[in-house]
A = this chain, B = another copy of it.
Amino acid sequence: MVSQSELSDVEIDRIFQALAASTRRDILRRTLVAEQSVSELAAEYDMSFAAVQKHVAVLEAARLIVKRAVGRERLVSANPEVIARAQALLARYEELWRARVDQLDALLAEPDN
């Protein structure tokens, strides 16, 4: 079992904000597959090292990734836990929708209409 403290609004803001840029989604994808140093990541994109580092920082603030120090390198790996939380959030939205549809169905099934 993992820590199941509820996510605050600002935390959710940060998660979706972090996901709202394709470079960051790509970094997330890469680090889900395998741990990578910040330089390795930076080499993949057509922008400065500092820019990539900032993207990594945004993902880290959202706790979508974690870094661990190994010598002078910082190895980045994704945190699937938080991704799962975001997914669960969206799933709850869909549930609201289903409830609405069910309610409508029940109404239509009412005999005295």
Contacts and interface: CB of A to CB of B under 8 A. Distances in A.
Nearest to A96: B32
A105 interface: no
Contact of A100 (B19, B34, B91): B34
Interface string A73-113: 00000101001101100110110110110000000000000
9 pairs of A and B residues whose beta carbons are closest in the complex: A16-B20, A17-B20, A87-B90, A9-B22, A16-B19, A80-B97, A32-B96, A16-B16, A32-B97
B83 A29 contact: no
A78 B80 CA distance: 28
Interface in A1-44: 9, 12-17, 19-22, 25, 28-29, 32-34
Copies per complex of this chain: 2
B17 A93 contact: no
Contacts of A28: 93
A94 B83 CA distance: 7
Given A15-B20, A33-B100, A87-B91, 4 more contacts: A20-B20, A28-B93, A29-B93, A84-B90
